[in-house]
A and B are shown apart, each in its own frame.
Chain A
Amino acid sequence: MSRVLSWDRSVFVLLVVTVAVGAVIDPDFAGGSNLGFVLQDIGEIMLIALPMTFLIMTGEIDLSVASTAALAGCVLGWAWQASGSMAVAVLAAVGTGVVCGAVNGFLVTRLGLGSLAVTIGTLGLYRGLCYALLGDTTVADFPAGWTNLGFSSIPGTPLPYVTPLLVVLAVAFGVVLHLTRTGRWVFAVGQSVEAARFAGIPVARLKFRLFVVTGAVAGLAGIVYDLRFASARPDGALGFELAVIASVLFGGVSIFGGVGTMWGVVSAVLFLGSVRSLLQLQGVPGNALTIITGGLLLASVVIPVVAQRWSAFRERRSRVLAAATP
């Protein structure tokens, strides 16, 4: 366990080092406008990664998040055109996310289906509903006041408008995970479902709620996505699910559940965004970026294991040496 903790500490160090090195070798990288762009670019991934951390910590997974976000985005566009009110549209979009999450939660906790299988199914279903809703059309007439929120920065700062939302939610999810009873339940369920059940933790209800929250936040991310791109379209957020899961795992959350920290995940999302931006600014081509993404993910699991084996080996050797010298 301690080695995993040290991994998420390493992620934070990596983040700091990357930004520092980036600032030295490339002044453009550390410029306000670029850092603002990085924050904006990782917005949806960061949002969805927060509740996904909880889910993976309890040993579940949700692959349908990108489709959920896209469906919420499509509902936003559809409801805006139907009602003419952005407030109604936003509520409808978040509500869509909640329903999507509840369907996942129901199938997993009530019917006892594996979440990997269920969410592969709902990934297709929700994406399909996007096409059923919008077909070949794109909704691109959102009011300018709203779309400005998506891509301009807070006046006087280089920060995008999504920043306060990210900070508030990241802190809130972090507090819940590390300082409340719900958070302790999440760790307990992740360590051992059986033990958690014996301890009186309502495992099914907890997991159901986590799926609903994940859906709701994915819905929120769908709104952010629409505003950032000033349009709602059925193929929005395509493929984001693997990026989210890769970030959470890179942040030191164990895929077996029970281990991880919120700040490790937040650091990981920021680190991956910064590294990508830095490499892109250095002219590293897209094909190499794909390899680096995969390589980093592999490194995040290989390095802790190798480090542990190395220290175990050294300990054993020193013990042998100590035994050999009377």
Chain B
Amino acid sequence: MNGGLRRVLAGREAPVAGALLVVLAVTTAVNPRFLSDQGRFDLLVAIAITGLMAVGQTFVLVMRHVDLSVGSVLGLSAFMAGSAVRGDTGGSLLVALLVGIVVGVVAGLVNGALVAFLRLPALVVTLGTLYVFQGVQALLTGGTRINADQLPTSVVSFGVTGFLGVPWLMWVCLLAAALGGVFLRTRRSGRDLYAVGSNPPAAELVGIPVARRTLLAYMVSGACAGGAGVLFLARFGGVDSNAGIGYELPVVAACVVGGVNIFGGSGTVLGALLGAMLLKTMGVSLSALSVPEFWQQAINGLLLLVAITADRIVLLRRERSARVEAARHRREQVDAGPALPTDGADRAGHDGVTTTEVVR
């Protein structure tokens, strides 16, 4: 199971990385400035915020949940972090990050508690908190805006400078992805998330603390959205009451493109990050390729569909060959001895037809 799972996961990231390379190569061939120093920097800055949120969303999606409130959490945290370091409070970047992440974790606790302890459907809960957090932020913000000249230099320059040619914002995203990836892959509690997502009742039966793991996943998603709020603050040098509205669906889309299964049980942080990179890169490359402005959104939507479909077809093909393999294996075993139970439970996590469980 372990080796097989790993093989499938590795396989699902490769096509995304491949597609990303193709987009980069084609665009650069047509427009060499696409990957110039500044072009690369801008692209990475654009990826960082969605990428960080996709990392957090992965934790929730693999558990067969979803977090739609991330955009509102981003707005709330950006505003709270901005307020904390505004003016002559002498606040620094670290204070902003700390405040942003704390706000995100608290929001994640609210979501997680409702989903984990009351066992409420995640889609409904996070749709509700999407409105609630957004309203709270709007009430707090009102018509005030935090502007670049009110923020400490450390925060504003964080949004435009980098290290080794990579923007600081992207380093934050990469650090979160690395921590998240290692955790999900190697830690016992990380592996638990996949087990719960593959088969929730079974996970409970084998003694996994499902509620605690759910809470953890939502706290991670919240923390990432909160961190993304601070990145937002740094990138735009300010925040108003519209920050983060409409960010949730692109984040889920990035995860799906990156091979994170929306029915839970599979997907990696690396995949989600690659998915975010691919979607943003495609969007930016349409401009670099001088595609007419009014066609860009349609083509973007089409490319997203192609990416999802291609991923599905690759998966189906692989599953079929795996099933053939398994059947052959079974036949050999039947020849050798008593039959084994079928592999139905193993497959449930990937099986598209159990759409009933789309958005638990």
Q: Which residues of A contact B (CB under 8 A)?
A: 59-61, 63, 107-108, 111-118, 120-129, 131-132, 135-136, 190, 192-193, 203, 239, 242, 245-246, 249, 254-258, 286-295, 297-298, 300-302, 305-306
Contact = CB atoms under 8 A, between A and B. Distances in A.
Interface stretch (B21-29, B177-185, B220-228, B289-297): B289-297
Contact of A125 (B133, B134, B262, B302): B302
B125 A113 contact: no
Nearest to A67: B301
B348 to A, nearest CB: 11
Contact of B297 (A59, A114, A115, A127): A127
B358 A116 contact: yes
Given A118-B308, A287-B135, A298 B297 contact: no
Contact of A291 (B118, B136, B299, B308): B136
B119 interface: yes
B263 A114 contact: yes
B125 A193 contact: no
Interface in B112-156: 114, 118-121, 123-125, 127-136, 138-139, 142
A290 B138 contact: yes
Interface stretch (B207-215, B248-256, B325-333): B248-256
21 contacts: A107-B305, A113-B308, A114-B263, A116-B66, A118-B308, A120-B252, A122-B301, A123-B301, A124-B301, A125-B298, A125-B304, A125-B305, A192-B356, A256-B121, A287-B142, A291-B139, A293-B131, A294-B130, A294-B135, A302-B120, A305-B120
B300 interface: yes
Contacts of A115: 355, 358
Given A249-B124, A294-B132, A61 B249 contact: no
Interface in B228-276: 246, 249, 252-253, 256, 262-263
Contact of A301 (B120, B298, B305): B120
B129 A61 contact: no
B354 interface: yes
Contact of B304 (A124, A136, A305): A124
B17 to A, nearest CB: 20
A247 to B, nearest CB: 11
B243 to A, nearest CB: 15
A193 B294 contact: no
Nearest to A59: B356
A263 B357 CA distance: 25
Contacts of B136: 291
Closest 9 CB pairs of A and B: A294-B131, A128-B298, A125-B301, A124-B301, A128-B297, A291-B135, A112-B352, A290-B135, A59-B356
Contacts of B66: 116
Nearest to B138: A287
A121 B308 contact: yes
Given A132-B294, A298-B114, A120 B253 contact: yes
Nearest to A242: B127
B312 interface: yes
Contacts of B120: 301-302, 305
Given A121-B304, A132-B295, 5 more contacts: A114-B262, A123-B249, A132-B298, A249-B124, A287-B139
B161 interface: no
Interface string B330-360: 0000000000000000000000111111111
Contacts of B118: 301-302, 305-306
Contacts of B253: 117, 120-121
Contacts of A135: 294
A104 to B, nearest CB: 10
A193 B348 CA distance: 13
B157 interface: no
Contacts of B142: 287
B322 to A, nearest CB: 16
A301 B352 contact: no
B50 to A, nearest CB: 14
A114 B355 contact: yes
B309 A113 contact: yes
B139 A288 contact: yes
B216 to A, nearest CB: 21
B149 to A, nearest CB: 26
B94 to A, nearest CB: 31
Contacts of A245: 127
B304 A61 contact: no
Contacts of A59: 355-358
A111 B310 CA distance: 10
Most buried by A among B138, B297, B299, B302: B297
B316 interface: yes
A52 to B, nearest CB: 13
